[in-house]
Amino acid sequence: MTAERRQFISPFQYNPGNDPTVTTYLQGLKGGDAPGTFLLVGANNSPGPTPVGLVYQGPLDRVMRRGVSGSGTWSTVAVPKRFGAAGTSVYGPDNFGAGLGNLVGAYTRNLGNQAPSSDNPAIVGFTYTGALNGSTATGWRSVQGTTQLGVKGSYTFVHSVDGGLAVGNTDNADVDDLTGYFSLSSTAFIVELATGRQTPIRFPGERDPLVTHTAYGIWYNGSGQYTIAGGSGEVLNKEAGRVSAGEAYLIDYDSITGRFKNYTNFPYRNRDRTDLISHFEGIYRTDNGSYRLPATSVALNDDGELAIASEVTITRNKLGGFRAKASWQDLDVTRSSDGALSVLSSANSLYGDVTVGFANYPDGNGGLTPLDYVSQLL
C-alpha cells in the first residue's frame, strides 16, 4: 500500500501586519464555486472578549502576504450591534454559489459585572443567510437554546449548517462552571434557518441527567434525511460532578417524520477507554456514501491532557445503520516554517480531502505557540 502524501500549511491565517498578539482559528469548511477552491470560516482571537468573524473564499495555497494567507479573498463579518453583540465567531458555512450562502456561529455579549443567566446570556448562537461577506442586514437571526433542564441556555453555540438545518448545543455554566464538551447541562438541538424553530435531538437514554450531548456537524443526505455528528459524555465521578468520559457519535434524523435513529458511539481507535474522550467536530459525506469526520480526542494522563487530531471514516451496514468499527487516521500536524510537530492538536472541520484545525507547538522555552493549520492530501 502506498503511504498517503499530505501537505500541511500552518499557519493559514488572517493576520494583517503579522501582529504577534493575533491568532486565527479555522472552524468550518465547505467547497467553493470552482474546483480546487473552498469556503472557509473562523475567527480571530476567539474565544476572546471581542472575536472577529472570518470568511475566506478561494484556494488553500501557500501564498502569504503580510500575515494574510491564500490567494483568495478574506472578509471580516460581525453580528449586528442591534443584537448586543460584542464579538463574532463563525463556526460553519453552506455555499449556495455566486457569493451567497449560510453562516452559523456564536456571538459574545458584554455583561459588565453581571453574571450570565438565562435572561442575560453571555454567548448567543446565530444563523445568517445572504452574501457571504456578511453584508445582508436582514439575514441575521439570534439562537438561544433550551437546556435539558427546561431553561434557556446562558451559553449557546451553533456549530454546523447544511441543507437548511443547523445544529448546536446550549448549556448553563452557572450549573457546573463548565461549557462545551464537559458541561453537565449541555443539550444538543437542531434549528431551521428559514423559521428559527428548534428541535431537541432525542438520544437513547437522554432522560439520564448524568449524560450530556453536543452536536457539531450536520450533513444533508437528500430526501429529508440528515446525519448529525458530535459527542456524548457521561459522569463517572458523581461526587466531583464532572464529565470524565465520553465518545463521539453519529445519529440520523428524518426531517419529514421528525424521527431519530441509528445512534452509534465511536471510541477513539475503536477502543473502550475511560481515560480518553473522543468527539466529532464536523461531518462530510463522500460520493460513495461513506462519512469522513474530523475528530478531536482528549487523553487524560499523568502530565494533564493530550489532544489528538484525527480523520475518521465510517461506512453503513446492510441494515442502513453505521458500522461500529471506524477507520481512524491520526494527524501529525507540522508547522510550515520548520516542520516542527505539534504536541496538542484539534481537527475542526473536513471537506473532501482537506481538514482544518488548530495546533500548539513547543516554543523552546517550555511554552507553546498556538497556530491554525490546513491539511490536504496530495
Residue type, 362: P
Asked if the model's pLDDT at residue 212 lies above 60, the reply is yes
Average pLDDT, the chain: 89
Statement: the pTM of the whole predicted model exceeds 0.85: yes
- CA-nearest of 162, 217, 163 to 188 is 217
The CATH architecture annotation of domain 24-377 reads 6 Propeller (2.120)
Q: Phi and psi at residue 181, in whole multiples of 5°?
A: -55, -35
pLDDT confidence of residue 244: 53
Percent of the chain surpassing pLDDT 90: 74
CA 154 to chain centre: 19
pLDDT confidence of residue 181: 44
Summarize pLDDT for 306-331 with one digit per residue, the tens.
899 999 999 999 999 999 999 999 99
Lookup result for grid cell 467553493: 32
241 pLDDT band (50/70/90 cuts)? Answer: very low
Give the pLDDT mean for 267-285: 87
pLDDT confidence of residue 1: 40
Give the pLDDT mean for 86-114: 95
105 pLDDT band (50/70/90 cuts)? Answer: very high
Give the pLDDT mean for 138-159: 93
pLDDT confidence of residue 191: 98
Asked if the model's pLDDT at residue 238 lies above 70, the reply is no
Asked if the model's pLDDT at residue 182 lies above 50, the reply is no
Element (H, E) at 174: helix 173-176
pLDDT confidence of residue 73: 98
Bridge pairing between strands 24-31 and 304-314: unpaired
Residue 252's CB: how many other CB atoms inside 10 A? 19
Most distant CA pair in the chain, distance: 60
147 pLDDT band (50/70/90 cuts)? Answer: confident
Domain boundaries, the chain: 24-377
Residue-by-residue DSSP string for 259-312: EEEEEEEE-GGG---TTEEEEE---EE-TTS-EEEEEEEEEEETTEEEEEEEEE
Q: What is the 3-state secondary structure (H, E, C) of 19-61?
A: CCCCCEEEEEEEECCCCCCEEEEEEECCCCCCCEEEEEEECCC
Name the more confident of 177 and 187: 187
End-to-end CA, the chain: 16
Across-strand partners of 168?
158, 189
Sign of the CA dihedral with 24 first, then 30, 32, and 36 last: positive
Whole-number Å distance between alpha carbons of 91 and 80: 17
pLDDT confidence of residue 189: 96
149 pLDDT band (50/70/90 cuts)? Answer: confident
**97: exposed, middle or buried (C-beta count within 10 Å: 0-12, 13-18, 19+)?**
exposed
Give the pLDDT mean for 97-121: 94
Give the pLDDT mean for 261-287: 90
